[in-house]
Amino acid sequence: MERRFFLGVDLSTQSVTAVAVSLGAGVAGPFSINFDQAYPRYGTRGGVPPSDDPLKVRVNPLLWLEALDDLLGTLQAEGLTRDVAAIGVSAQQHGTVYLTAHAERLLAGLSPTTPLAIGLAEIFSRWECPIWMDASTSAECREITAALGGTAAVARLTGSVATERFAGPQIRKFWKEAPELYARTAHIALISSFVTSVLTGGLAPVDAGDGYGTNLADIRAGDWSGEALDACAPELLTRLPRLVAADRVIGTVAPYLAGRFGFRPDTQVIVGSGDNPCSLVGLGLIGAPDRHAVSLGTSDTYFGYMNGLPEAARSEGHLFGAADGGAMFLVCFKNGSIARERIKDDFGLTWEDVSRILLATPPGNGGRIMLPYVLPEITPRVLEAGVRRYGGLAAEDPAGNVRAVAEAQAMALYLHADWTGRRPERILVTAGGSENPGLLQVLADVFGVEVQTHDVTQSAALGGALRAAHAWLNDHGAVVGWGGLFRSVITPGSGRIIRPAPGASIRFHAPGGLIAAYAACERHVLGRGPDPGEAIRAFRAAFSDG
Ligand code: XUL
């Protein structure tokens, strides 16, 4: 029988990863290239170059092209490329790539013998791409908010309040600071549509999973919003990719991809999307609003599928499109693995040590609390980095700090997901942190529900592959649902289930529980509340043994 693979490629902050799915025969891979290790000449740490200004995070797009080239070469060497029927792309969300008027011609004319980073070196009108970690556009967010009639109006129209890392504010800043370069920019891609442009050899559209994370779209109309574009920069519509509301095939691979890496010329490419919308697919959550997901990657995210768009006014969180044309919510925390790793490294621990400490120490940490803002934070919005400690947490106490960072992150996930509606029956955990049993136990204890992991922790790349399979099969006349497709690849019940420890959740949720104390610490840091000493004392009085 003919072998047929569906390939998922995920270009994330720190690495590029591929998995190949064969229906009924499981998943091959992951194949991954880490940017810091493979390309030291770019000087990146954690995938980003050092910056004097912690609010500015910008990446040279040639790094991504080199990594893509090497990854596709690896897949060819593994004998996988010739049997790929379709490719689905996932990418870190919100980053923008700026292209000249020559981009279309250069993309179409690339020679199979030329490395991507050389053949495409001339397509960029800007050498640095702001990525999701960039928070330098607060002024532009305020201007956009004023132009669109206030915070609630922006959130209702675009799905999010004006948000520093989103394309709209980033493009506005670029236009204000470098109008001559903006004039030379004929196309602005999101990172996902940039990768699919490279694969198809032409300017590719973007999907609503990524496209709604820009402050530029009208999420109810399913297209770019003229009003939002006008609030951002002049003549923007002609520069943006087309926006497509539900997954579909956008073309076949460019001839050079077939020539250089041995793909079949009829290999299809699916519209690209963000890593979180792809993870939603890779975790089997399309159409399943009763389960939510936590991704413990470079960023921590909390997300889930939604039946319809919520109407209530809100000041944080995001709404994006889902692969089936529906909707998803998302809350993002920048200090995910970055803060966990900092605490681990400060005390010279391994991830196994971290897990052991978390499994051996009491939930609630005796009322010792950390706000782990190693970097400026997205949720809640904190522009000045700094780790804050409360309740007598000593900076030199390894166990106290390990538990404090894990509990703080889990409580932040819990608190800031409040607006998303009904609490889930189960939480699926993915990305690197999902391999750490101690972190999983803390999540189960704080949320008070079961958490589940999957065998494939690269849910974004897997989601890309499943999206490719779904679009290809439907394009070939087979009507396939998302649930059935997911079950044909992932064995039901694979991975692990972790239950809340007896008596643990009450320490967080009871009146006087740690979540109330943690919320008081957040308010204090944000300048919105008094010293949290009272709330911490209340916790200690209620749980004196902790
Ligand atoms: C989501 C977000 C991050 C990036 C990381 O809004 O900014 O999760 O997608 O890759």
**pLDDT string in tens for the chain (546-residue length):** 578 999 999 999 999 999 999 987 788 999 999 999 999 999 999 999 999 999 999 999 999 999 999 999 999 999 999 999 999 999 999 999 999 999 999 999 999 999 999 999 999 999 999 999 999 999 999 999 999 999 999 999 999 999 999 999 999 999 999 999 999 999 999 999 999 999 999 999 999 999 999 999 999 999 999 999 999 999 999 999 999 988 999 999 999 999 999 999 999 999 999 999 999 999 999 999 999 999 999 999 999 999 999 888 888 899 999 999 999 999 999 999 999 999 999 999 999 999 999 999 999 999 999 999 999 999 999 999 999 999 999 999 999 999 999 999 999 999 999 999 889 999 999 999 999 999 999 999 999 999 999 888 899 999 999 999 999 999 998 888 999 898 888 876 678 999 999 999 999 999 999 999 999 999 999 999 999 999 999 999 999 764
What are the phi and psi torsion angles at 226 (to 5°)? Answer: -55, -40
- Tell me the three state secondary structure of residue 445: helix
Handedness of CA 300, 41, 192, 100 (dihedral sign): positive
The Å distance, Cα 213 to ligand 1 centre, comes to 9
Q: Whose CA is nearest to atom 10 of ligand 1?
A: 92
What confidence score (pLDDT) does residue 406 get?
A: 98
Using most ligand atoms within 8 A of CB, pick from 48, 64, 89, 92 the residue to mutate for ligand 1. Answer: 92
96-99 and 187-190 as β-strands: parallel, antiparallel, unpaired?
antiparallel
Which atom of ligand 1 has the smallest separation from the CA of 213? 6
3-state secondary structure of 466: helix
Q: What are the residues facing 250 on neighbouring strands?
A: none
> How many whole angstroms from 128 Cα to the centroid of ligand 1?
18
Predicted local confidence at residue 313, as pLDDT: 84
Cα distance between residue 261 and residue 278, in whole Å: 24
pTM above 0.85, yes or no: yes
Ligand 1 center–CA 95 separation, angstroms: 9
Q: How far is the CA of 286 from the centre of ligand 1 (A)?
A: 19
Cβ-proximal residues to 295 (8 Å cutoff; 6+ apart), any chain: 275, 276, 279, 301, 303, 429, 430, 431, 459
Centre of ligand 1 to C-alpha 129, Å, is 15
d(CA 84, CA 86): 6
Of 70, 102, 151, nearest to 381 by C-alpha is 151
Residues with CB under 6 A from ligand 1: 12-13, 92-94, 132, 165, 213, 274-276, 299, 301, 330, 332
Please give the distance, rounded to the nearest whole angstrom, from the Cα atom of residue 504 to the centre of ligand 1. Answer: 30
132, 212, 302: residue to mutate for ligand 1 pocket, most atoms within 8 A of CB = 132
For residue 299, which atom of ligand 1 is closest to its CA?
8
What residues form DSSP beta bridges with 32? 17
132 C-alpha to center of ligand 1: Å? 6
CB 374 within 8 A of CB 387: yes
What does the DSSP 8-state code read for residue 423? P
* Other beta carbons less than 10 A from residue 312's beta carbon: 9
Q: Which atom of ligand 1 is nearest to the CA of 378?
A: 7
Ligand 1 atom closest to the Cα of residue 295 is 8
Question: How big is the CA angle at 327 (ends 322 and 329), to the nearest 5 degrees?
Answer: 100
Mutate to test the pocket of ligand 1, among 210, 296, 299 (most ligand atoms within 8 A of CB): 299
Distance 510 CA to ligand 1 centre (A): 32
Reference 273, options 99, 438, 91, 76; nearest CA is 91
Helices 459-475 + 275-282 axis angle, to 10: 70
Residues 504 and 523: beta-carbon distance below 8 Å: no
CA distance 300 to 433: 9
Q: How far is the CA of 332 from the centre of ligand 1 (A)?
A: 7
Q: What token pair was written down for 307?
A: 């039946």
Say if residues 84 and 217 touch (Cβ distance below 8 Å): no
